[in-house]
């Protein structure tokens, strides 16, 4: 029962998202297309975090770093006149993979609060690296001259095309993530979450499994960063400010963690809420903050929990 | 390098270090005793800086500024402890991080609503605006020297409070095993509120001293908060002694790095390259320090014995 409702939510959600470009064109409101592209990009980031947070119990408070690394990969290559799309994305994935490998190798030696603070500190380190890189605009960031080029088949200059590319990648990551979580690898990761010592005693090299999951998540988030650079055609260190990591984590919780679909709902809810509140008052953060506190205190299962029932949301 | 310059920058490092310590002490106390990770600690620092700068400007009395800053931070601290944190003590760290993240958004915006979006000017009180000669021909700003003295004094007071008094005994006992302490008839709820207010006061003190040195603006607490995290991770979470050692270490390494890394690199590589690499490396230095410490000691320099 719960599973069916969950699957139905996914199908309906996808259909609704696919209808955004024609709707926004029909109403002559390109702004909404832009907003929803942004929402889906953050959904990818939140989904990547959910993979290690919801299933692996790894509270990474520095996911914005990979977002920034992905975006800067596109930005820096374009800065030197290299606009080749596949290369952009390959470099974004490679760079965020390497960063996640290094950060994970140190961070995963610790656990609990140490892990939270260390991932936060590392992302802050990369943030300050971005600030001090004067060649690439430093604190002010830099404009990106052109979109990643994929030939005439995929013209990312077209906002609708970019939107569908983002949606396709989101769906790809969603189903790949589902497979991953249900696989033997995913079982080990979930096993480590509930009892790491026991998994280790059974004979699993838990550190390597966790590191692999951490790196996969970082690489996915790097792709989101490269997409974000293509949307805004601008990169600055503010992409990887630590509050961004907090926002991505908030999206996961708001939507319901450990479900992979929850983070997508969460990112829709968070960014739409942000949009509504900022239209209402420029001091919207004073309203959003207490809402977040209330959600954490009273609605921990998130939106997906409400939609899909207890069994589905409580899994994993 | 001139030795006098090194001495001056070293003292700047110590001054930065003691300010970090006042922040880190509150964080590590709250974590050690209540097992709570509090991101909103930086907001108390910010409130301290704002209220002191504002009251000092309006009344002309620095002491009144200090008094009202401490009172405001303690009051806000007690309110959020009672309203929000009591519900969070038994929750997992993830919930605590997110709820206190929400509090940060709230306080940063409230400060903007009350004092406007631009930075507030904080002046140095007249009697501390001069310079003192610490060595012949080596002047040092008296305000920074005052921070060092006051900070070390507060650190000593904190040590005496925790190590020598009955209250400190309860705090240590609470850190070791809160259930037993409660069963022995101690009002743990009240103890928690007191510890939290103590942490709030220390953060506010750090903030009000920082006002004239850094900018008093919305979000100012967050940079120092993350540095304080680095400090307590290096020192060992829950250990005040560790926080003290690590604060000075981080303060000195950071300040020295910013001052001397660029000229040092310039002797090794082309000046243009050093101009780029110097600041980049300097801003990453303490994180590299943290990673190195953790690589060898994942629990920090002074890991807590009981947890």
Binary contact (A243, B222; C-beta < 8 A): yes
Written in H, E and C, the secondary structure of A31-99 is HHHHHHHHHHHHHHHHHHHHHHHCCCCCCCCCCHHHHHHHHHHHHHHHHCCCCEHHHHHHHHHHHHHHH
d(CA B60, CA B205): 18
Kindly report the average pLDDT of chain A as a whole number: 87
Q: Is 50 exceeded by the pLDDT of residue A316?
A: no
**% of residues, chain A, pLDDT over 90:** 42
Token pair belonging to A54: 């919801």
What is the pLDDT confidence band of residue B305, given thresholds at 50, 70 and 90?
low
Q: Which of B105, B230, B300 sits opposite A285 (nearest CB)?
A: B105
* Residue showing tokens 């079982």: A187
- Find out whether A2 and A312 touch, Cβ atoms under 8 Å: yes
Q: Which residues of B touch A246 (CB under 8 A)?
A: 97-98, 101
Residues 242 to 261 of A: which have CB under 8 A from any B CB?
242-243, 246, 249-250, 253
Q: Is 70 exceeded by the pLDDT of residue B164?
A: yes
Greater confidence, B45 or A2? Answer: B45
- Comparing C-alpha atoms, which of B54, B28, B55, B50 is closest to residue B41? B28
How is residue B117 annotated by DSSP? S
Greater confidence, B5 or B196? Answer: B196
Question: Does this complex have an ipTM over 0.85?
Answer: no
What pLDDT digit, counting tens, does each position of A181-210 carry?
Answer: 999 999 999 999 888 889 889 888 989 999
- Relative to beta strand B138-141, strand A142-143 is unpaired
CATH code (residue A259): 1.10.3470
> For A259-274, what is the mean pLDDT?
89
Token pair belonging to A97: 């993979």
Q: Is 80 exceeded by the pLDDT of residue B208?
A: yes
Q: Which residues of B touch A61 (CB under 8 A)?
A: 97
Q: Which of A9-23, A42-56, A267-281, B259-273 has the lowest mean pLDDT?
A: B259-273
Q: Which residues of B touch A109 (CB under 8 A)?
A: 294-295, 298
d(CA B189, CA B127): 42
> What is the reported pLDDT for A315?
43
> What residues are paired with A143 via a beta bridge?
A234
Classified as helix, coil or strand, A234 is strand
- Find out whether A47 and A167 touch, Cβ atoms under 8 Å: no
Binary contact (A286, B103; C-beta < 8 A): no
Distance (Å) from the alpha carbon of B268 to chain A's nearest alpha carbon: 20
> What is the reported pLDDT for A96?
96
What pLDDT digit, counting tens, does each position of B283-298 carry?
Answer: 888 888 888 888 788 7
> What is the reported pLDDT for A314?
44
> For A30-35, what is the mean pLDDT?
89
Exposed, middle or buried: residue A105 (CB in 10 Å: 0-12, 13-18, 19+)? middle
Binary contact (A135, B276; C-beta < 8 A): yes
Considering its fold, how many domains does chain A have in total?
1
Contacts of A163 (CB under 8 A, 6+ apart): A20, A21, A33, A36, A37, A40
Give the angle subtended at the CA of A179 by the CAs of A50 and A162, to the nearest 5°.
65
What is the pLDDT confidence band of residue A175, given thresholds at 50, 70 and 90?
very high
Range of the domain at A21: 2-314
What pLDDT digit, counting tens, does each position of B92-112 carry?
Answer: 888 888 899 999 999 999 999
What is the pLDDT confidence band of residue A152, given thresholds at 50, 70 and 90?
confident
Q: Is 90 exceeded by the pLDDT of residue A257?
A: no
């Amino acid at each position: 029962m719960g599973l069916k409702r969950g699957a139905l939510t996914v199908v309906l959600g996808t259909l609704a998202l696919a209808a955004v470009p024609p709707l926004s064109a029909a109403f002559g409101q390109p702004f909404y297309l832009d907003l929803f592209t942004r929402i889906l990009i953050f959904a990818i980031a939140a989904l990547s975090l959910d993979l290690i947070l919801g299933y692996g119990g790894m509270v990474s408070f520095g996911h914005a770093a990979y977002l920034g690394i992905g975006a800067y990969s596109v930005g820096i290559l374009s800065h030197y006149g290299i606009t080749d799309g596949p290369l952009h994305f390959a470099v974004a994935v490679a760079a965020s993979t390497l960063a996640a490998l290094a950060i994970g190798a140190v961070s995963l030696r610790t656990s609990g609060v140490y892990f939270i603070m260390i991932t936060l500190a590392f992302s802050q380190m990369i943030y300050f690296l971005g600030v001090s890189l004067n060649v690439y605009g430093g604190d002010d960031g830099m404009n990106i001259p052109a979109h990643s080029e994929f030939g005439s088949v995929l013209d990312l200059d077209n906002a609708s095309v970019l939107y569908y590319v983002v949606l396709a990648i989101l769906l790809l990551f969603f189903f790949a993530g589902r497979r991953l979580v249900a696989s033997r690898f995913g079982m080990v990761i979930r096993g480590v979450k509930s009892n790491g010592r026991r998994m280790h005693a059974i004979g699993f090299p838990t550190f390597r499994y966790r590191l692999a999951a951490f790196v996969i998540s970082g690489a996915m988030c790097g792709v989101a960063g490269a997409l974000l650079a293509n949307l805004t055609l601008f990169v600055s260190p503010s992409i990887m400010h630590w509050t961004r990591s907090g926002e991505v984590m908030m999206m996961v919780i708001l939507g319901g963690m450990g479900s992979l679909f929850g983070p997508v709902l969460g990112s829709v809810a968070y960014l739409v809420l942000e949009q509504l509140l900022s239209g209402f008052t420029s001091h919207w953060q004073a309203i959003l903050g207490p809402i977040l506190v209330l959600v954490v205190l009273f609605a921990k299962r998130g939106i997906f929990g409400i939609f899909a029932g207890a069994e589905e949301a409580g899994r994993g | 390098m001139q030795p006098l310059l090194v001495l001056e920058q070293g003292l700047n490092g110590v001054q930065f270090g003691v300010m970090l310590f006042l922040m880190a002490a509150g964080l590590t106390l709250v974590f050690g005793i209540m097992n709570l990770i509090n991101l909103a600690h930086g907001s108390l620092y910010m409130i301290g800086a704002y209220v002191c700068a504002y009251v000092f400007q309006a009344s002309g009395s620095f002491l009144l500024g200090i008094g009202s800053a401490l009172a405001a931070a303690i009051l806000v601290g007690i309110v959020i402890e009672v309203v929000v944190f009591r519900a969070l003590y038994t929750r997992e760290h993830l919930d605590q991080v997110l709820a206190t993240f929400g509090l940060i958004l709230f306080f940063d915006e409230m400060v903007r609503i009350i004092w406007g979006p631009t930075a507030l000017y904080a002046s140095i009180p007249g009697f501390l605006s001069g310079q003192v000669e610490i060595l012949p021909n080596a002047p040092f700003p008296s305000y920074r020297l005052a921070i060092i003295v006051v900070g070390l004094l507060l650190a000593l007071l904190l040590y005496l409070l925790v190590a020598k008094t009955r209250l400190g005994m309860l705090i240590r006992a609470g850190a070791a095993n809160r259930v037993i302490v409660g069963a022995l008839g101690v009002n743990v709820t009240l103890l928690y509120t007191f510890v939290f207010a103590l942490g709030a006061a220390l953060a506010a003190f750090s903030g009000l001293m920082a006002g004239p040195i850094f900018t008093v603006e919305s979000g100012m607490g967050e940079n120092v908060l993350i540095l304080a995290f680095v400090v307590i991770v290096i020192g060992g979470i829950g250990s005040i002694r560790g926080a003290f050692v690590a604060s000075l270490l981080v303060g000195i390494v950071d300040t020295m790095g910013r001052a001397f890394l660029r000229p040092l690199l310039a002797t090794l590589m082309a000046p243009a390259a050093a101009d780029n690499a110097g600041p980049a490396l300097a801003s990453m230095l303490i994180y590299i320090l943290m990673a190195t410490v953790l690589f060898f000691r994942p629990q920090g320099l002074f890991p807590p014995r009981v947890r």
